Structure 1
Amino acid sequence: MAALYSAKVARAKTLPALWLISDARNDAALESALARLPRGSGFVFRHYHLGAAERGERFATLAAAARAHGHCVILSGSAALAQDWGADGIYGPPTALGEPCSLLRLATAHDPHEIALANSAGADGIFLSPVFSTRSHPGADCLGEARFRALAAQAAAPVIALGGMTAQRASQLDWPRWAAIDGLS
């Protein structure tokens, strides 16, 4: 157990500050976006719109492009699939993270209940969203800066701001870690 804790602390210290998240709408721009990101950034591959075989092929292509620039590669999927595909970690709701393992385990959260679930799951990082209005969740209530900070304060792991994020909004929010779909593509 001590070894898992030490590994968790080390992973949290090296968790990238900037994350690009894949989506059907930014697919055509992903290779160039990955090339523009600062070395050592993070990339979350989702691509839920693809069938299994096509998704695996697209992951392999984008993972190679990401690694060519020194980026961390995370798969939205199970730990078993992430290990099979050679990902550095997994991304998803706290209830889908499974048991602690050698992979980074990054949870999604939108409210206090999901923050508590991510804490209980021992997530290595938490994508908290939507901070601002976003095309991913049209018409959804946004957290805004004050609510984002209040929820982030409840997290046991580093929090990554997501939802309507751009470099300008990240600067405005003055938060050390942020992610975007459109804002980085």
Structure 2
Amino acid sequence: MDSRLVAWARVVKRRRLGMEATGTRKKSGPPPLWFFTDAHRTPDPLSIISRLPVGLCGVLFRHDSHPDRAGLAKAAARICRARRLTLIVAGDARLAKAVAGGLHLRGGAPARRFLRTHALCSASVHNERELSKARRAGVDLVFISPVFPTATHPGVPGLGGAGWRLLARQAGRMSPCALGGISGWRAQALGRRCVGVGAIEAFL
């Protein structure tokens, strides 16, 4: 696990708690670290989830092609509850409700009929159009990606720090997070506007 990334997350969380204590914010918001499960690169996500820093992380459950996706999601939910980790399920509102988790919208796709039943909603966005869709859907946090070249999007050039910050400034009330090629020093380089990051490799 990237120790510098964990240290960065602790700083972000302390900063949020400080703002909450002074009344600048009403709540500390979602966790700063997000582990994205991946069927190919993390075939056994439960072993990774069980080692995530307590109270500092969230899990974005994908594993779309798993033969027992619901069973795996329920097992992940049990670990998350025990370790005070936030769970969000990608693209499946029924499964998200079944495990009492949040809902992740791919490409910022709106799903207004589902949003009211989930305590936390996120979206992945890659451009201004998708960001606008996420904003209209009323999601809580957006994963702007890919910031840097990543195996998830082979051959796709990253937005870079400047491109990420350009979209992050348009996030409005949504919490802007970074996704794609993330490491501790890269998260620090994005500045204070970045309040969360998603990663795969950094947790291995």
Where on the TM-score scale, by shorter chain, does this alignment land: which range?
0.7 to 0.9
> Which residue of structure 1 lines up, in the alignment, with residue 3 of structure 2?
none
- The answer to whether residue 84 in structure 2 is matched with residue 67 in structure 1 is no
Cα deviation, 1:35-61, whole Å, max 9, x if unaligned, reads 23242421110001213xx00111111
Question: Matches of 1:129 and 1:43 in 2, distance apart?
Answer: 17
Aligned to 1:3: none
Native 8 Å contact 1:97 1:105 kept in 2: no
Partners of 1:134 and 1:163 within 8 A in 2: yes
- The verdict on how the C-alpha distance between 1:46 and 1:116 changes in structure 2, with shifts beyond 3 A counting, is same
Query: Residues of 1 paired with 2:149 and 2:54: CA distance?
Result: 25
- Percent identity for Structure 1 against Structure 2: 32
Shifted more, 128-137 versus 159-168: the winner is 159-168
Residue 43 of structure 1, aligned match among 59, 65, 82: 59
Tell me: CA distance 1:10–1:71, structure 2 relative to 1, closer, same or farther (3 Å): farther
Alignment of 1:47-58 (within 5 A): 47-51=63-67, 54-58=68-72
Separation (CA, whole Å) in 1 of partners of 2:46 and 2:98: 22
SS in 2 for 1:27: coil
Check the 8 A contact 2:57/2:86 in 1, yes or no.
yes
TM-score w.r.t. length of structure 1 = 0.85
Partner of 2:94 in structure 1?
80
Structure 2 counterpart of 1:106, which letter? S
Query: Contact 1:78–1:96 (CA<8 Å) still a contact in 2?
Result: no
Deviation per CA, 1:144-184, whole angstroms, max 9, x where unpaired?
A: 00010001101120011000112232122233211101111
Name structure 2 gaps, 5 residues minimum.
Answer: 1-24
- Kindly tell me the number of residue pairs found equivalent between the two proteins: 173
TM-score with structure 2 setting the length:
0.77
- Higher relative helix content: 1
Give the Cα separation in 2 of the matches to 1:170 and 1:148: 11
* Separation in 2, partners of 1:137, 1:79: 25
Matched residue, 1:129: 145
| Consecutive unaligned residues in structure 1, runs of 5 or more | 1-8
2:10 corresponds in structure 1 to: none
Counterpart amino acid of 2:199? A
- Structure 1's consecutive aligned runs of 4 or more residues displaced over 4 angstroms after TM superposition are none
**Residue identity opposite 1:119 in structure 2:** R
Aligned to 2:38: 23
Aligned to 2:12: none
